[in-house]
Structure 1
């Protein structure tokens, strides 16, 4: 597991987040100097590009502190973007819908807040990291030629009964968010507990991977942090009829 990098202007305020990430067994490097190197002139960036690329290749996640402005993020993003790296915006509070749009428009993958619990942080990172390319690219190569419209039979055949039940619940919501608690109640017909909540998160990750394998956009299935899960309306919703095997 590659480490996590926090870019900031103030090391002190990142200590709490750094400790929580370390509690989750992530190796964390927090740097002001690297941020300064990334924001230098375009000419100097070219001079250091090889070094920067080699250094950044060590990190699977880059968290950009709330001490860094949106304009500064735009300036450093060209050196940060990679299909093998997740970019997260750290915020002081939960963003509004408009602020979420701005984060996406910047080219970042997602956001976290300074006061996020360890449980939420763990699940959010796990959800994002599963989308990164694996060291063994067998699945990607095998299905790279599939149609973007998706193969419904392939998807149905690869989903377990419990995964089918999850997908059915999300389809019935018709594009609305389904809370984690409601999903667990739908799955186990009883009040949710920590074990059920954890299993539900794993099921969501597996479904996202199987969507991609079957030729669908895995981002059809979204985790709405603090609220639950959402399946976007699509041809998948229209053509999918769940029949437990």
Structure 2
């Protein structure tokens, strides 16, 4: 299950919601910094600036839902939504009170499918999220192609179970590159949703090593992931030509 992101201007007022979500076994990130990064990226972006859009997309791709705090104004929401709804996440607006009919129509026009009230009970929150996130989970289709080692019996189920969330995200990023080299920095940004640091870059390299080891363990060719020294990583051409589909 992918984490939920709360974008806010005040971390303290989100503590109760964050605790409720964690009680329901959701992984949660509550962030002021990410909100500021997105707003800054929007200000610097031209309509044709594909690099900025890719930055925003990679920043948010690992979240299944984004909750927009009541601390964010309606005008800011109108500016934010087109730039954060690049990966078809569920968008939820946190509100102080039930919205009017006109406000509901405006939310729908913005692409926000529902709202959360501050005084929601945990039971109400559980059922609401279960309903809304089920739509996302049914539509989500992450397909990874892995080249099967000749002469070996591969165990797809065991491989899937052995992969961590970060390892799955790593494979997903490499697959989406469609045979092109992905730099270690871009891969790091995709997997960790933050600006690369030396520590994160090192951890990203370790993820590659762990994935290759698991692939070999369960009967897949470790060389399906290739290291291009000085440039980054890529999935070999054989992956898409002779690959085995694995829904992660």
TM-score between both structures, scaled by the size of structure 1: 0.52
Whether 2:64 is the aligned partner of 1:60: answer: yes
Moved segments of 4+, more than 6 Å: none
Q: 2:140 is matched with which residue?
A: 134
Whether 2:23 is the aligned partner of 1:17: answer: no
- Which sits farther off after the overlay, 21-30 or 100-109? 100-109
Question: Aligned partners of 1:15 and 1:85: how far apart in 2?
Answer: 22
Question: Aligned partners of 1:104 and 1:84: how far apart in 2?
Answer: 14
Residues 5/136 of structure 1: CA separation in 2 closer, same or farther (3 Å cut): closer
Residues 21/134 of structure 1: CA separation in 2 closer, same or farther (3 Å cut): same
Whether 2:101 is the aligned partner of 1:85: answer: no
Q: How far apart are 1:54 and its partner, in Å?
A: 1.2
Question: Aligned partners of 1:41 and 1:58: how far apart in 2?
Answer: 18
Maintained 8 Å contact 2:61/2:87? no
RCO (CA 8 Å, sep 6+): is it higher in 1 or 2? 2
What SS is found at the alignment partner of 1:40? helix
Question: Aligned partners of 1:43 and 1:134: how far apart in 2?
Answer: 30
Question: Aligned partners of 1:131 and 1:83: how far apart in 2?
Answer: 14
Residues 43/11 of structure 1: CA separation in 2 closer, same or farther (3 Å cut): closer
Residue 116 of structure 2 is aligned with which of 108, 112, 133?
Answer: 112
Q: How far apart are 1:40 and its partner, in Å?
A: 2.2
Question: Any idea what the Cα deviations from partners look like across 1:163-197, whole Å, max 9, x if unmatched?
Answer: xxxxxxxxxxxxxxxxxxxxxxxxxxxxxxxxxxx
Maintained 8 Å contact 2:41/2:52? no
Question: Any idea what the Cα deviations from partners look like across 1:21-66, whole Å, max 9, x if unmatched?
Answer: 0000000001111111211264624454333211200100000000
- How many aligned residue pairs are there? 137
Q: 1:32 is matched with which residue?
A: 32
Residues 95/43 of structure 1: CA separation in 2 closer, same or farther (3 Å cut): closer
TM-score between both structures, scaled by the size of structure 2: 0.51
**Runs of 5+ in structure 1 lacking a partner?**
138-245
